[in-house]
Amino acid sequence: MADRPSKDAPAPNKDDSQKRQKDMIADHFDKLSRSKADGKKVVYTFVPGNLTELLLALDLLPVLPEINALQSGMRKKSGGYIAEAEKAGHSEDVCTYVKCDIGMIKSGNIGPTGQKLPEPDLLLLSYTGCFTFLKWFELLQHEYNCPVVMLHVPYQPDGVATPAMREYIVEQLENEVIPALEKLAGKKLDYDELSRRLALSRIAEDDLVAVWESAKHTPSPIDGYFGGVYYIGPIFSSFRGSQDAIDYYRLLRAEVEERIRLGQGPTTPDGRMDEQKYRLVVEGPPNWTSFNDFWHMFSKEQAVVCASTYTRVGGLYDQGFRHDPSQPLESLADYCLGCYTNLGLPSRIDLIEKYVREYNADGFLINSVKSCNSFSAGQLLILREIEKRTGVPGGFIESDLVDPRYFGKANIENRVQSFLQMLDARKTRMINAPMRSGPAVHV
C-alpha cells in the first residue's frame, strides 16, 4: 500500500456508471458550448433548491457555477483563479467558490471540459440555505449585466416547512420566476411537460435512495461521501427530470446490488475495499483540491463512509421526499425547503444522529471548510451533541473547498490518523477490558 499517494492517482472510481456519467457531462458541456449557435438560452443557478425540471420543461440550459468551481478545484486550477479574484479586490476571508468562479470568468471562462462556457442569459438566484448565493449572483450580475430573478426560500429553523413558507415560494414561482423564465424561453410553460419531468425525477430518486441505503450492509458496497459525491452528480445538477438520469441511476443501483451480492466494497484510491475496519458518518463538504489524497487518507486505513450530509445538500430523498407530478409548484417548493443546509441546526443534529445509529457507525467526523459558514458555523456544537447523544466518538478536521492554501495535508492526515487510532484504541479497550495502566511512576 503506497503511503504517499499519487498526485496523479488514477481516478478512483472506474465503475461503468462513472464512465456513463462522464459521457453525460461531456455531452452537456457540448450543448452549452454550442448554445449560442443553437439559439438556446442559458440559465446560471445553484445546486441546493435548483429548479432543473422547470428549466428543462422550458428548454433552457442550466449552468451551475458551484460545480464549475469544484471542478476547477479538482483540476488544480482554483488556486490561480482565487488569486486572480483576490487581486481584483476580493477579501481573503470570503467563500472560495465565489472567488474561484470570478477568477475563472476573468481568465476566459473555460469550463471543466476545456470548452468555453456561454455567458448567462439569466441568473436564477435560488437563495436556499446559503447567504453567499445572494452576493455571488449580485457579483455575476455585475460581470455580465444580465437579468436576475430571485427565489427566496425561507429557512426551516425548527425543521418544519409551514404552509406559509410553501405559499411564499409558490407565489414567487408563479409571479416572478416562471414569468421571467417564460420571457427568456419565448414560450409559455407547459405544466404537463413540467409534471412529466417531475415524474421522471421520482424514478431516479428512488434508485438513488436504494444506493444510499445499501451502505447499511456490511461491508458497505459504497462510500457514501467520497464515492457519494460522484453519485449525486447527475441528480443535483442538470439531469434531474431527464431520461439520462434514470438510466444512470438504474445502472448505478445495479452495480451496487451486484456488489452486495458478492460481498464487495466500493472502488477507492486503494482498490476495492472489501475489508472495512471503520464505518464513519461525515458532516461537511469535502476538499476538492486534494480530493484523492483526502480520500486516500481514509481508504488506506480501510475506513468507509456510510453516510454523509454533504450528499444531501441537493435534497433529502432518503428522508422520504419525492418530487410530485400532481402538484408541481408545491413540490418544487417543498424540494427547495428541504435541502440539508436549509435546515436549522437542531434538525441537522437529529439527522446526523439518525445516520450514526441507522448506519451503525463507529465514528463521526466533521470536515469543517473555511468557505462555507452555512455548514461550518455551529459544527463544534454538532460534534459535542452527537457525541453526547450517541456515545460515538467524533473527530474534527479543517480544510477548504477549493483554496489549496487551506489544505494542510500533514496536519489533516495527522488528525485523521489520530481519530482512527482513537476509534481503534477504544474498540480494543472494549474487547480486552481494562488496560494495563499501572501505578503512578516517575519519569
Residue 155 vs 321, nearer CB to other proteins: 155
Q: How far is the CB of 416 from other proteins (least distance, A)?
A: 10
Q: Which grid cell is 47?
A: 445546486
Residue 321 vs 406, nearer CB to other proteins: 406
Q: Which grid cell is 38?
A: 443553437
CB 184 within 8 A of CB 122: yes
Q: How far is the CB of 291 from other proteins (least distance, A)?
A: 18
Q: How far is the CB of 257 from other proteins (least distance, A)?
A: 35
DSSP for 394-443, written as a single string:
EEEEEE-SS-GGG--HHHHHHHHHHHHHHHHHHHHHHHH-S----S----
The 3-state DSSP class for residue 42 equals strand
Q: Interior CA angle at 238 toward 233 and 241, to 5°?
A: 100
Residue 131 vs 191, nearer CB to other proteins: 131
Residue 55 vs 372, nearer CB to other proteins: 372
Residue 17 vs 268, nearer CB to other proteins: 268
What is the C-alpha separation between 18 and 23, in angstroms, rounded? 9
Q: Which grid cell is 265?
A: 466494497
Q: How far is the CB of 307 from other proteins (least distance, A)?
A: 21
Q: How far is the CB of 159 from other proteins (least distance, A)?
A: 10
Residue 102 vs 184, nearer CB to other proteins: 102
Among the listed residues 264, 394, 340, 414, the one whose alpha carbon sits nearest the alpha carbon of residue 47: 340
CB 15 within 8 A of CB 267: yes
Q: How far is the CB of 363 from other proteins (least distance, A)?
A: 11
CB 366 within 8 A of CB 282: yes
